[in-house]
Amino acid sequence: MPDLADISIRQHVMAALSEDIGHGDATTEALIASDSSGRAKIIARETLTIAGVAVAKAVFVELDNEASIDAHFEDGEEIQSGECILTVSGQLRSLLTGERTALNYLQRLSGIATQSARYAKAVSGTGVLILDTRKTTPGWRLLEKYAVQCGGARNHRRGLDDMILIKDNHLAALSSECAIAEAIRRARLISPDLKIEVEAETLDQAQQATEAGADIVLLDNMTIEELRAAIKLIDGRAQTEASGGITLETIREIASTGVNYISAGALTHSARAVDISMKIES
Amino acid sequence: MPDLADISIRQHVMAALSEDIGHGDATTEALIASDSSGRAKIIARETLTIAGVAVAKAVFVELDNEASIDAHFEDGEEIQSGECILTVSGQLRSLLTGERTALNYLQRLSGIATQSARYAKAVSGTGVLILDTRKTTPGWRLLEKYAVQCGGARNHRRGLDDMILIKDNHLAALSSECAIAEAIRRARLISPDLKIEVEAETLDQAQQATEAGADIVLLDNMTIEELRAAIKLIDGRAQTEASGGITLETIREIASTGVNYISAGALTHSARAVDISMKIES
Amino acid sequence: MPDLADISIRQHVMAALSEDIGHGDATTEALIASDSSGRAKIIARETLTIAGVAVAKAVFVELDNEASIDAHFEDGEEIQSGECILTVSGQLRSLLTGERTALNYLQRLSGIATQSARYAKAVSGTGVLILDTRKTTPGWRLLEKYAVQCGGARNHRRGLDDMILIKDNHLAALSSECAIAEAIRRARLISPDLKIEVEAETLDQAQQATEAGADIVLLDNMTIEELRAAIKLIDGRAQTEASGGITLETIREIASTGVNYISAGALTHSARAVDISMKIES
Amino acid sequence: MPDLADISIRQHVMAALSEDIGHGDATTEALIASDSSGRAKIIARETLTIAGVAVAKAVFVELDNEASIDAHFEDGEEIQSGECILTVSGQLRSLLTGERTALNYLQRLSGIATQSARYAKAVSGTGVLILDTRKTTPGWRLLEKYAVQCGGARNHRRGLDDMILIKDNHLAALSSECAIAEAIRRARLISPDLKIEVEAETLDQAQQATEAGADIVLLDNMTIEELRAAIKLIDGRAQTEASGGITLETIREIASTGVNYISAGALTHSARAVDISMKIES
Amino acid sequence: MPDLADISIRQHVMAALSEDIGHGDATTEALIASDSSGRAKIIARETLTIAGVAVAKAVFVELDNEASIDAHFEDGEEIQSGECILTVSGQLRSLLTGERTALNYLQRLSGIATQSARYAKAVSGTGVLILDTRKTTPGWRLLEKYAVQCGGARNHRRGLDDMILIKDNHLAALSSECAIAEAIRRARLISPDLKIEVEAETLDQAQQATEAGADIVLLDNMTIEELRAAIKLIDGRAQTEASGGITLETIREIASTGVNYISAGALTHSARAVDISMKIES
Amino acid sequence: MPDLADISIRQHVMAALSEDIGHGDATTEALIASDSSGRAKIIARETLTIAGVAVAKAVFVELDNEASIDAHFEDGEEIQSGECILTVSGQLRSLLTGERTALNYLQRLSGIATQSARYAKAVSGTGVLILDTRKTTPGWRLLEKYAVQCGGARNHRRGLDDMILIKDNHLAALSSECAIAEAIRRARLISPDLKIEVEAETLDQAQQATEAGADIVLLDNMTIEELRAAIKLIDGRAQTEASGGITLETIREIASTGVNYISAGALTHSARAVDISMKIES
């Protein structure tokens, strides 16, 4: 499990609180004395895979650095409806002011973890790894890629800087005859430290990429038959990744083609927020 | 339609690009000459209500301040699959480097606008207004509330500072006998400039809130029958808002109860990203 | 009493110290050994209502996170000349480097609190509330509105976002015949969650605003007679606020007209800094 | 006249607008179409010395980078009541949203310039220079020191880093017998590039400072007689500055003692905001 | 040649100017009228490979956005002593205030490019690539890696995130018997998208790394004989990189061993600033 | 010894870590369990004068705020090859992730301190002080000037704001006949609080500067004979500083001329990083 660096969490949380609080939490300041203290429970309202416990903690600590927080589960665990995830004791004002922000983080990140766990489970036993994509919420790359791991899937490249991925638009921009081989040659020369992946929409492109020495071939939007043919043609000379239109219904059959990785944007860009709520104990 | 202030957009976009680019766009820098120019089209791949055109523009302008961008639709318009939303001409490197970030913004914001338009349409003609909630993605409050408006729904409070909303957890924290009346009294004293809304889970609470002078009563998780009873009881002395478990299937019937507003977290926290792609023209 | 959120204070204080220290406190670094420690007393030099104790503390803590600070008064208390407000023990260098910044905060905020207390006292017993305005020092909105409360006055809207306030310039910009009624209608539609206040410079405008359903009518620059007439005309259908040319001399008479609120920019924009000094104990 | 560096102004203004606008200018967005344009005049409501024209401009440009702004006066000029300072043409929304922030800057900075001009005029012809102090509003050092110059007074040190100023608290912290001479010796050794000023509360201290080679002696809280005696004693071996309890009533007599500089915190910490307003032209 | 993204440059330059200017450029403000304009030439005072032209431009544009700047050379070109690199026309104040910051950037970056060019030239014709390291000045990673490319050398990994590099300290921390093979296995599982390099200090470690499937073996601090033996043993199964104690004297012989890459921290951490000056034309 | 303000260090270190870590430390996260702890020693690999111990500490504390760090030397001490500078105990992940950044700071700052110590030693006993210049790495002004002091040299002005320094380019820009006297007159009027230094390239200029009352005359690029003549001519009426082409070989002879200060850009812009490494103890 990766670290969620404290530095990054804290700045994210501070910006989120500032955005929500604005000029002040008018309701809480009017109703609750500044020296009142209390306790709150954060509770799952459906079955889910949890992610973001440290972020939720950071929300309450930012507002009350003497708050006492007990986490009853760790990121990556499956939680049943009704189970208590966190107990927070501290200033009542901080509990009330932080509630929505803490839940917004937990619901979104756990939604992604839960979705990722479903995808990972669908291919369990096949040896195929599920990967995410760069289709993340701007500003949330680190957090969402972390949630994907909490669900048992893996991360594809984290940004434009840690891998060469030659896509259709790069080839369209290059527009020369032997574009794939030439592109791989240039990339290897400039960035000898990076792996090279090439997107192939046809068997011919898959063959060009393989012969030019790509480390990974991304088989994009192919049918099951095309995938099988491509994998046979590549024959272990490069690793293979299937992508495009992946759903929970089709994923197991895709895995059966012998592909190494399956990547799905839906892990991050369309995960439904899971239901989690907070209760102040009176 | 509200403004999306340029200041806010620009800082959001700069952070998003920095997050994706990291040490540099390794692929593009290796393959494309820095003085190449080209053109790209951003195209809808399903029917959708568009939101975020100015944000997508800002992405490309940030990377190439001489880029020329034509928007063929305005935020709030419905676009059919296959139609071109934006044409961008400029440095090829900037088009390729900005592609994913621009799409991530457009897909998410248009997903929310499309979802909001569905909800607004479901109650059209009833005079009921659909409202969003504070269940937004941390860091995206302004952008997501804007997208909700693009879809024809309205904004509930923008933060903790622009309205008093007394919820169950505030009452639990207060824990006195006549909590509702006392809470309203305190809030009015401290913040004479803010409207006061009170969450009621029972008819009794709705009555207390109304009699204590709440501006709006939030009828939370009530059945159709309870809603009708509450609205009859309130009898125009306060405005009414229904919330909790709102779906596209139930919303029209809820609107028929005579409630003034219906609010739904799903507008923002669980909208699916719509399908939009970019093509470099070779 | 509201909270001064620690986050906001700390960033404000860090910027202030950075502005004053620049490349370094040349005098203190030259004269005082880095391991010397000592004690300082911060003392009132006139009668004042204190505000900003937490900010002054934050200045010294930022420079020496092991400093020990005793506050002998709480924000909102009246202090006599010669009384000691704070005792600070810690590194001598930090005491000397922080002195001016801590005093600049305390003198300005307590100046506002003292001024606000004078205004609040002038109407005591009448039930009228004194309000501040948005005429605050840019960058100090939160701090100055807090100081106003320390003096016993209340806050008018905190920004452009937490209330609708339709002023003469809005009406000039609209320039239609029935501008006030139309403006209220539009505002209510777009922002159902916000209270609506309308500035009236004449009895006719006050009547239009009242009949169109304004929550509050701002009676601007009216004579005592005009105020009485307006309040009679409004007759409890809206709340009323008097503004414009308010002074300590006239305020009690204005309060006697039956107006609900009196607002004065002078609370924040022209409060004199009170006299507070610091003494190192040798 | 110094420059107000564009960088600094712009960041200051962006923070100020963000503070005021928060989630959005609710009134203006509700009432005014986003494509409406108009014109506004900013007008003096009393006689004043203007400062901050560039800052006010920056407010409107930040909100509407195509706004057209004509300044009819330059910083430092005296303006009569009723005269128009600036004419701004552009989006109506930007004019209305920026009004208060622009005025807050202009009123405060011109208040300081007007106060400074009064002090400078009071000693005109004597050759004495009026200096400000570090008693500025935290976050406003640069702006307020600029306004002081607009009024015809001069700046004392800008921060803790551009001059050695040995004050009573430094001497209390040093607590050795020949503290002044020793302090000057240490300071000169560490910072050979900085001038050295010493605060003297007695003639004896003034003598010690002079003999130890101080560049300037700060004569603090002395009577006219003490000032004359000190200046006679120093006899041109160091420059002299009078400080403490300076008022417009006493300043001319103090100047007559032959002191080189008179410094007054009141220039910045207690200047009353001058009256300036904005009118939209319908 | 990579792009130096405008965003990154601008923020770097703004911070640098702020650091140097502090409260203001006292000399220039005192001597030069704010409306004076002039021209300056930036001239090489020794033979050098230039890098940082865009950064120097950004310095002057930041201070005067109407400055006109002609660059007579592009980054990566060799320039002889006495040749003019840039001509800048604009406000005299901006030329004087920006001089030192612009030169500090140009001298440092060109120093690195010149050093890199010497190393690259020393192995020209051998097919061996010179790589930099992460031994860069904190805050300058992007700029210094760019300057290395301007000199004709290549970049090793840009940060801790774009490659797996298993070093002696990682192995010491793992402390198991078959540490290298196990470490490679774990890394490949977690980060399938990254290349894996292993540092080997002995032939045995080189063999373990090769057999466990490392993409690159880093031969650290080996003699020429050890290098030859290691390369023979690896026999093309992995790429090879020599590092440790590389100097201009030894580098050609090291290149002759058949290694693929030679990396040297001295490219960035110990390059001497080259001599460049600016002259105002009177 | 000056303070390195904690605020400044912390922000510098956070930016440096963020730059190096990017999306995450891929190697360490893959290999090391998040709950492993260990110990590391930071060791000198050559004789050096240490600077930056507090910065290195801050790196590890930022990553692991419970790390325990023992510093065996203080900044300014000379350390022999093989001696241990710091021992750090804490999370193994933090030790590995922080290693390079901590060393980059220590190696650069100690390189400058070591170089400065060499220059200071070369003139020991002469009473001449060695000064640095503004030729520092942008973003590192404070840190590098601190390192210079650690080596026993002194700081010349810290920025453009704490001293008047009239250079050849200012005089070229002024272009009047009696430029030096006029420039000094203007500067003294505007900034009475700052010392005035004038750059002289000829004896005639030195004479003009002296007679016009400069506090310091900067004798630029003069031969030993010219220096002696200038110092004789100035005859104690101003202090003197030699600059331009200073090397360790020539510096003692220059000091013998009776000049007060010698300044050298090489202290900061061309110091070689010293060799320091870190070892994890297995």
**Catalytic-role residue among E132, E199, E226, E241:** E199
Q: What is the mean predicted confidence (pLDDT) over F148-162?
A: 95
In whole angstroms, give the CA distance from residue D226 to residue D249. 18
Q: What is the pLDDT of residue C8?
A: 75
- How near does any CA of chain F get to the CA of B17, in Å? 13
Tell which of A156, A193, A215 to mutate to test the E interface (max E CBs under 10 Å): A193
Put simply, the answer to whether B163 touches C190 (Cβ < 8 Å) is: no
Which residues of B fall within a CB distance of 8 Å from A281?
172
Q: What is the pLDDT of residue B141?
A: 95
DSSP C154: B
Q: What is the pLDDT of residue A8?
A: 75
Which residues of B fall within a CB distance of 8 Å from A32?
170, 173-174
Which residues of C fall within a CB distance of 8 Å from F142?
23-24
Sequence length of chain C is 282
C167 given a catalytic annotation: yes
Tell which of D10, D12, D23, D93 to mutate to test the B interface (max B CBs under 10 Å): D23
D220 given a catalytic annotation: yes
Domains delineated in chain D = 4-116+272-281 (3.90.1170.20), 121-269 (3.20.20.70)
Contacting subunits of D (3+ beta carbon pairs below 8 A): A, B, C, E, F
Q: What is the pLDDT of residue D178?
A: 72
Tell which of F193, F196, F216 to mutate to test the D interface (max D CBs under 10 Å): F193
F78 given a catalytic annotation: no
% of chain B residues with pLDDT over 70: 96
Q: What is the mean predicted confidence (pLDDT) over C188-202?
A: 94
DSSP A47-83: -EE---HHHHHHHHHHH-TT-EEEESS-TT-EE-TT-
Put simply, the answer to whether F7 touches C34 (Cβ < 8 Å) is: no
Residues of E at the D interface, defined by Cβ within 8 angstroms: 14, 17-18, 21-24, 26, 29, 34, 62-63, 65, 93
Put simply, the answer to whether B162 touches C193 (Cβ < 8 Å) is: yes
Which residues of D fall within a CB distance of 8 Å from C174?
31-32
**Catalytic-role residue among F99, F197, F220, F226:** F220
Put simply, the answer to whether A2 touches F22 (Cβ < 8 Å) is: no
Q: What is the mean predicted confidence (pLDDT) over F51-69?
A: 95
Beta strand pairing call for A84-91 and A37-44: antiparallel
Put simply, the answer to whether B192 touches C260 (Cβ < 8 Å) is: yes
- How near does any CA of chain B get to the CA of E2, in Å? 6
Q: What is the pLDDT of residue B198?
A: 97
Contacting subunits of C (3+ beta carbon pairs below 8 A): A, B, D, E, F
Torsion of CA D117, D118, D120, D122, to 10 degrees: 160
CA angle E69, E73, E74 (to 5 degrees): 100
Asked if C181 and C149 count as a contact pair (C-beta separation under 8 A), the reply is: no
Say which amino acid occupies A62.
E
pLDDT tens, position by position, C19-77: 999 989 999 999 999 889 999 999 999 999 999 999 999 999 999 989 999 999 999 99
Which residues of E fall within a CB distance of 8 Å from B93?
3
DSSP B88-114: EEEEHHHHHHHHHHHHHHHHHHHHHHH
With CA atoms as reference, the chain E residue closest to C20 would be E23
Asked if A202 and A168 count as a contact pair (C-beta separation under 8 A), the reply is: no
Put simply, the answer to whether A65 touches C6 (Cβ < 8 Å) is: yes
Which residues of E fall within a CB distance of 8 Å from B23?
141-142, 145, 158-159, 162
**Catalytic-role residue among E62, E99, E197, E220:** E220
Tell which of C18, C20, C21, C23 to mutate to test the E interface (max E CBs under 10 Å): C23
Put simply, the answer to whether D18 touches B7 (Cβ < 8 Å) is: yes
Residues of C at the B interface, defined by Cβ within 8 angstroms: 129, 131, 154-159, 161-163, 190-195, 197, 215-216, 239, 260-261
DSSP B193: T
Contacting subunits of F (3+ beta carbon pairs below 8 A): A, B, C, D, E
The H-or-E segment that residue B48 falls in is strand B48-49
Task: Tell me the average pLDDT of chain A.
Answer: 94
Residues of D at the F interface, defined by Cβ within 8 angstroms: 129, 131, 154-159, 161-163, 190-195, 197, 216, 239, 260-261
- Count CA atoms within 13 Å of residue D11 on its CB side: 13
Which residues of B fall within a CB distance of 8 Å from D65?
6
Which residues of F fall within a CB distance of 8 Å from A2?
24, 29
φ/ψ of residue D250, rounded to 5: -95, -15
Which residues of E fall within a CB distance of 8 Å from C23?
22
Torsion of CA E77, E78, E81, E85, to 10 degrees: 0
Asked if A119 and A56 count as a contact pair (C-beta separation under 8 A), the reply is: no
DSSP D85-104: EEEEEEEHHHHHHHHHHHHH
DSSP D132-146: --S---TT-HHHHHH
% of chain A residues with pLDDT over 70: 96
Q: What is the mean predicted confidence (pLDDT) over D200-204?
A: 96
Put simply, the answer to whether A193 touches E197 (Cβ < 8 Å) is: yes
% of chain A residues with pLDDT over 90: 90
3-state secondary structure F35-89: CCEEEEEEEECCCEECCCHHHHHHHHHHHCCCCEEEECCCCCCEECCCCEEEEEE
Put simply, the answer to whether F160 touches E28 (Cβ < 8 Å) is: yes
pLDDT interval class at F112 (50, 70, 90): very high
pLDDT tens, position by position, B50-94: 999 999 999 999 999 899 999 999 999 999 999 999 999 999 999
On the question of pLDDT at F161 being above 90, the answer is yes
Q: What is the mean predicted confidence (pLDDT) over F69-86?
A: 97
| Out of A172-181, A192-201, C41-50, E71-80, least confident range | A172-181
On the question of pLDDT at C88 being above 70, the answer is yes
pLDDT interval class at D5 (50, 70, 90): low
Q: What is the pLDDT of residue E178?
A: 72
pLDDT tens, position by position, A9-45: 988 999 999 999 998 999 999 999 988 999 999 999 9
With CA atoms as reference, the chain D residue closest to E17 would be D7
**Catalytic-role residue among B62, B64, B199, B226:** B199
In whole angstroms, give the CA distance from residue E11 to residue F46. 36
| Out of B250-254, C146-150, E262-266, F171-175, least confident range | F171-175
- Tokens for B185? 């009294």
Tell which of F169, F176, F177 to mutate to test the E interface (max E CBs under 10 Å): F169
Give the residue carrying structure tokens 């292993």: E198
Distance between first and last Cα of chain C: 37
Q: What is the pLDDT of residue D8?
A: 75
Q: What is the pLDDT of residue B175?
A: 76
Higher pLDDT, C154 or A177: C154
Q: What is the pLDDT of residue D4?
A: 61
Of F139, F127, F169, F149, which Cα lies nearest the Cα of F258? Answer: F127
E195 given a catalytic annotation: no
B-to-C residue pairs, Cβ atoms closer than 8 angstroms? 53
Beta strand pairing call for E276-281 and E37-44: antiparallel
CB atoms within 10 A of CB F177: 7
- pTM here? 0.91
Q: What is the pLDDT of residue A2?
A: 54
In whole angstroms, give the CA distance from residue D57 to residue D88. 8
* Strand positions, DSSP E, B209-255: 216-220, 239-243
